[in-house]
Amino acid sequence: MQTPRRVEHQLTDKGSVPVYATAVIEQPWASYEAVEHDTWRRLFERQSAILPGRACQEFVDNLNALGMDAEAIPKFEALNRHLRAATGWELIGVEGLLPELTFFEHLAARRFPVTWWIRRPEQFDYISEPDLFHDLFGHVPLLMNPVFADYMQAYGAGGVRASTFGDASLAELTRLYWYTVEFGLIATDDGLRIYGSGIVSSKGESIYALESPSPNRIGFDLTRVMRTRYRIDTFQKTYFVIDGFEQLFHATVDPDFAPIYRELAAQPAIPAGQVLATDRVYQRGSGQGWAADGDV
């Protein structure tokens, strides 16, 4: 087998740009070095310690059910045995970011692409693109949840369709992924919890998203989300809060997006940090919960 490449951002005269790779590769598990298993162990231990009571229970339970632990970088094949049995999803190894349409096609076929390589020790706290830790620890637990698993497949199918509607529609659909799969929050009977993989795989953002007074926490609304810009290089200014995975599923899978893309074409995008009069605001602290009308 040829050694897979490690495809990362490249510094060009335009600054740092993402590089795309399409190959599906076998995980070169035997070639991981001690320092790489150690990076996995340290990241795994750090996140596992802060997530109970912060991540939603489905995430914590499924992390255990998958048999991931701090011991060593997991083998995709071992995780796949659990995943296939639970929801029919499987992990495939990739070298880095995929072109959009390729990514959508994999999701639509219940294949989740996982970057085979893990960040270097000097990237421990921050890396600008998904690596093995983000992809496995962040994304795979919720693929064990049947409703979330169906949502992800439908998202992929929607992406394949959106590719025929043009760049503006694709950008709107990407915002939906960003504010749900990557940075979503969920209101539970026990309080606000994290489910987005970009948050659960980051120590700083796990605490910030729930505990900082700075960001907006706004009730999920499909077109509101699809109009909202986002930043990829700092913590989010706004998080969208769902009441459960069923709500997310019905709000996105049921409607035909074709008329929604047409309607949105006439509307301006909303800056990342803006709150609208029509937003339903989730309040933290002692009066935790949805703000009543006129409360904000």
Which residues would be at the binding site for ligand PHE (CB under 6 A)? 151, 154-155, 158, 161, 176, 252-253, 255-257
Q: State whether residue 200 is helix, strand or coil.
A: helix
CA atoms within 13 A on the CB side of 185: 28
Between 117 and 148, name the residue whose CB sits nearer to ligand PHE.
Answer: 148
Q: How far is CA 264 from CA 84, 250, 273, in A?
A: 37, 20, 19
How many CB atoms neighbour CB 8 within 10 A?
20
238-242 and 185-188 as β-strands: parallel, antiparallel, unpaired? parallel
CB of 181 to Co ion, least distance (A): 7
CB of 267 to Co ion, least distance (A): 27
Contact partner, 252, from ligand PHE, Co ion, none, Cβ < 5-8 Å per class: ligand PHE
Between 233 and 256, name the residue whose CB sits nearer to ligand PHE.
Answer: 256
Contact partner, 156, from Co ion, ligand PHE, none, Cβ < 5-8 Å per class: none
Residue nearest to ligand PHE (CB): 158
Can you tell me the distance from the alpha carbon of 190 to that of 187, in angstroms, rounded to the nearest whole number?
A: 8
Question: How many residues does this entry show for the chain?
Answer: 296
User: What are the DSSP calls for 64-117, one per residue?
Assistant: HHTT--SSSPPPHHHHHHHHHHHHS-EEEEESSPPPHHHHHHHHHTTEEEEES-
Between 78 and 265, name the residue whose CB sits nearer to ligand PHE.
Answer: 265
Between 130 and 159, name the residue whose CB sits nearer to Co ion.
Answer: 130
CB of 42 to ligand PHE, least distance (A): 34
CB of 135 to Co ion, least distance (A): 6
Tokens in use for 65?
Answer: 């059910």
Q: State whether residue 93 is helix, strand or coil.
A: strand
Can you tell me the distance from the alpha carbon of 275 to that of 51, in angstroms, rounded to the nearest whole number?
A: 28
Site string for Co ion, 118-157 (x = CB under 5 A): ------------x---------------------------
Between 130 and 158, name the residue whose CB sits nearer to Co ion.
Answer: 130
* Interface residues toward Co ion, by CB under 5 A: 130, 197
